[in-house]
Structure 1
């Protein structure tokens, strides 16, 4: 284990022998650092944080810190559980959990750019990118293969569907369904995330079907329930089912087209 002489690893912290701990970093009691993790300079890993393998945590990042919630007390803290192969760039802040037993959960292969933030009890899946200063409030759920641009703010309890892209400076207040591109001071859907879908192997037939499903649900003038039922009948596929299931599960309401 390569530990800089200025780093502090408190008694009760578990650090894998293959991990690296950089100068002036603090690993608190109860933290777990997995194999081949690289903890760079001036990082603080709070107790109750568990990192899987091969995570990189850059200068000044804080993982598992106290939630920015006035109801927080230390005895109410819940874990921050992080998978493998994530990158947390400079100044990233991820809060520990507070109000759900599972706490805050970050999956695998996510890339958090400088000063991005995920609040307490967030659930972030795999292969997502949060650009500089993107902010997830508490209880936000982000599926997988999403791109959240710079200075985006996502309202608490909102859900972000898979393969979405959110334009910079956008405020997301409602659930954002999968496969779409959203933008605006208050988010509206402005089209499909065509670049992202192509990059991830969606065929032209799949893209055309997804477009037809959204046109039927949102732009046909039908009641939402009727549009969902007709889309399910006319365009049967896993992608259609993903859209319909997401919308039906919404409790905040779903972002519509601009």
Structure 2
């Protein structure tokens, strides 16, 4: 990081060293600091940066000219904010965290987010098709816990955006590549790796060392077993495991924990068996089994069953990868 700062020496030639003290708001072009901000004397803060009230900036931090920090943000020693970056209220950058990049585009982080030790969020993607003159974007919502050594990249093109929603727990050494779309309340265990353009809905749980192929979709309330290599879609409510990952039944534990009723789970299990574990030899094709469930009077009126069927149908659209293999069952 010292090398990176030295390469940018010309950009920082006009920066001021700020003594640690309380600041009163000054409404002019020179100062964007609000009251009660504490800045360590070794920190490098560009005079055009905009800081909210109660911001705390520790030793050896740096903040770019286009950065905006909301109220109550905390930067621990050696954390850095580059480029056009907007940080919401009460965000915390742990030691060594890097947010933003000097490439065209922007990184927008919501409120109450924690960026862990040496995490890298909002930097250039690892896509050879990306052109450095193109704008690239990252949007992160609120209340996310992004742990140590995680990397989240901006989009690969100006017409797209990498998106992370709200309330996600992204554990250590995870990777979210360019143009991914992450929903809300997901849990990614350590070393979960998402390739480009992956879409994750809500309440998805991955175990450790899970790898997701580019353009895959993970449906809400699904579970991915540890060490899984997922190369096709995982429909809503389902559980997969293995290399290559195969459907292993419904995510019964997750559904129960998230408040699904006994009746809803029973109906989902019935629909699952009819589609994937059918013993009726007169109904041969996969399409015919789905159609049978869609015409079942007792199942089709259950919202959870309809959502599961729609998730399966969507996975076979022209631009999708189909669903994971379904050759192994756990009897759920």
Which of 199, 202, 207 is residue 257 of structure 2 equivalent to? 199
Within the candidate set 135, 138, 154, 1:96 is matched to: 154
Are residue 243 (structure 1) and residue 304 (structure 2) matched? no
1:58 and 2:116 are equivalent in the alignment: yes
Residue number in structure 2 paired with 1:230: 292
Aligned to 2:143: 85
Q: C-alpha deviations, 1:162-204, integer Å up to 9, x for none?
A: 1011111110001011111111111111121111111011111
Q: 2:325: which partner in 1?
A: 256
- In 1, distance between residues paired with 2:57 and 2:124? 25
Query: Bigger relative contact order, structure 1 or 2, given CA contacts below 8 A and separation 6+?
Result: 1
Match of 2:241 among 146, 161, 183: 183
Report the equivalent of 2:179. Answer: 121
Match of residue 99, structure 2, among 45, 53, 70: 45
Secondary structure of 1:76 counterpart: coil
Whether the 8 Å contact between 2:61 and 2:75 is mirrored in structure 1 is yes
CA RMSD in angstroms, aligned pairs only? 1.3
For the 8 Å contact 2:125–2:154, the answer to whether it is kept is: yes
Gapped regions of structure 2 (runs ≥ 5): 1-54
Q: Which residue of 2 aligns with 1:146?
A: 204
Q: Does 1:35 align with 2:93?
A: no
Task: Judge conservation of contact 1:87–1:109 (CA < 8 Å) in 2.
Answer: yes
Q: Which of 260, 265, 276 is the equivalent residue of 1:218?
A: 276
- Structure 1 residue 100: deviation in Å? 6.5
Secondary structure at 1:190's aligned position in 2?
Answer: strand
Which is worse superposed, 203-212 or 97-106?
97-106
State the SS of the aligned residue for 1:74. Answer: coil
Equivalent in 135, 141, 144 of residue 193 of structure 2: 135
The answer to whether the Cα contact below 8 Å between 2:130 and 2:157 also exists between their aligned partners in 1 is no
Conserved? CA contact 1:127–1:144, under 8 Å: yes
Shift of 1:76: 2.7
1:191-218 superposed Cα distances (whole Å, 9 cap, x missing partner): 2111111101111111111111111122
Do the aligned partners of 1:86 and 1:110 also contact (CA within 8 Å) in 2? yes
SS in 2 for 1:210: helix
The CA distance in 2 between the partners of 1:138 and 1:75, in whole Å, is 20
CA shift digits 1:32-76 (9 cap, x unpaired): 100011111111111411110100011100001221111222223
Runs (4 or more) in structure 1 with deviation over 6 Å come to: none
Structure 1 unaligned residues grouped into runs of 5+? none
TM-aligned CA deviation for residue 229 of structure 1? 2.2
Counting matched residue pairs gives 258
Calculate the TM-score normalised by the size of structure 1.
0.96
Tell me the SS of whatever aligns to 1:94.
strand
**Higher gyration radius (CA):** 2
In the other structure, the counterpart of 2:131 is 73
Once the two structures are overlaid, the 10-residue window that deviates more, 243-252 or 131-140, is 243-252
Q: Work out whether residues 188 and 205 of structure 2, in 8 Å CA contact, stay in contact via their aligned partners in 1.
A: yes
Aligned mates of 1:222, 1:205 — CA distance in 2: 28
- SS in structure 1 at match of 2:163: strand
